[in-house]
Structure 1
Amino acid sequence: MKGLTKEQLVARALEEGFVKAGICRPDAVPEAAGRLRAFLAAGRQGQMGWMAEREAWRGNPAALWPEARSVIMLAEAYTPEVDPMAGLGERDRGVISVYAQGKDYHDLVKRRLKRLGRWLIETAGGEIKVFVDTAPLMEKPLAQAAGLGWQGKHTNLLGRDLGNWVFLGAIFTTLELEPDAPEVSHCGTCTACLDVCPTKAFPAPYQLDARRCISYLTIEHKGPVETELRECIGNRIYGCDDCLAVCPWNKFAVAAREIGYQPKHGLPELADLAALDDAGFRERFAGSPIKRIGRDRFVRNVLYAIGNSHSANLAAVAQGLVQDADPAVADAARWAVARLQAKA
């Protein structure tokens, strides 16, 4: 790095708000292609067809931008201040994944990546491309190759000095930068993340079947969710944090620095959310990652939570949606009404 040391790069990354930075080569994860191929062959991607459509790029980061010589991987903390599982007992309210309780992280992380990238060009030259969930890129294997942490048994990235509440961003550059040593797993014999999963979405340690994952079911899955899984969803209406929340390494988690990740609201009441029409949904979740799933899928999730609430008072709320224009919403409403009547 002409005129630039790795220490200066890391220091600048921390100044920008990242909590850790590391460097690897674009071809540092040759095993990723085979793992992705096996995942897709087993159909574990569910309805996420985009994973197979760009398999060649996703499995080989070096193919994404052949001119790149180095990848700078960066971690940004969004560590919650309270236990995200505490709300699971408040059945008349909805639980939203920690990462989606504030502003959309895509915007906040990308802004930081661009600032750091501009500084890098001004200081050392070269060209850059920045990515944060915006390209067919396997960020977690690259982050492990860059020494930020390792993919735990829950398949998420965690670090001994980070915990697992982190967003990842990548800067690809044409500069030749000295790579860091990759990290290895320190999960040991712990299976806390596997044991806590309500839907048993982990066929084995370090493997995930997205089709059973509550985050997938409430965010990516279109249409009705399989009946056998609805009760397991509980009152989680967008995402799930259980496997992250129980990780013992979180005792070393870094505090979130970005105020934008602070929750905008407390636990929302299911009755209020079920009443949202399309305009109301878009207004309430403007600037939030929740907005991208749309009103219908979100209200479907809310109705599953209502069905699991054991609250007879919410039966009328569900009854009001049994003729909803969206078939999945109407199906969820009928299911919720039947569940609540059976409990009564």
Structure 2
Amino acid sequence: MVDMPFGVSRLDSMLDGGVPTGSVVLLATEPGAGGRKFAHTSAAINALATTNNAAFEHHYRGIDHEGVIVPATVHYLSVAATADSLEATLTETVSSEIAAQATDGITHHDLSQPYFEATDVPDAWYQHDEQVSTLPGVDTVEEIDATDPFEYAEDVRAITDDGKGEERPDAAADETETDGDTRSMTDSGGHNAPDTAGILSVLRASLDDAVGGNLVVIDAITDLDDLPDETVSWEAVVRLLRGLTRLVTDRGGLVLVVADAEAVTDPQLGSLSAAATGTLSFSWETGGSQRARLLSIRELPGALDRLDRDEIAAFESELHDRGYDLSNVRKIH
């Protein structure tokens, strides 16, 4: 079994390296409870492995197990967030030094324009010069420090007999009907409609490009529930996640899907969890004068049997310059 690290030191150590590749893990988080911080840390630390391996070794303090690979590249998909830069977003969680070094190894997909086009928000509030920005980074494995204890994931996309990459259809092109995404490239009379693809089409195209031996973060899939049902139905969102799980199983890599637990109903959150291969739950525990962030592993196939046989209920977490990490372990006896 080949594993890919989350980039969260203590959790990866307890899991003997990380989570099996081909996994789609839902990060179901209460506001501020750590799910988004977990995603920021995962993206930054895994990207640091390719942009500055010495810094990765210093900050990650990770593990050296056989069968563990770091992602070939990192992709960060922002559904509705309109931060000035991904580096500024990461600095909310990790140190500015780590964020600056890691950002060069991350491809940022800003999907806010097609998202807000489906709303009544004024264009000037969200428009950017570029919708997808590929930041300069390490392009080939040969540029990586050969002393790296990890092997690097290869692009597992299919190769045709003539040696060229297999062509996949563009998910955003010439759609007359999509799963709940009612924008179309032609109108009822067959004339060209405005050249704007719906958010699900753009999201599918970004995922089709990103998935394959990589770490992919979707932040946050529950943003789609804010859109009118005639534009994006919740059933379509669940089908998208279910299809994504199958795609990642075939191509490998790891996908982290941030879900704001209070933005949707419990049944909606349950449907997302059922469509993924694993779920981590982030919540607040209140008591006395202090609050503690708790991480609970609800499901993580191929990894739960590696944990201590004591019945682990939850982990307390902490934030430091390396981002999100675990501290105390809560157990049920």
TM-score higher than 0.5: no
Normalised to the residue count of structure 2, the TM-score between the two structures is 0.27
Which structure shows the bigger proportion of residues in helix conformation? Answer: 1
Where is the strand percentage greater, Structure 1 or Structure 2? 2
Higher relative contact order (CA 8 A, sep 6+): 2
Normalised by the length of structure 1, the TM-score is 0.27
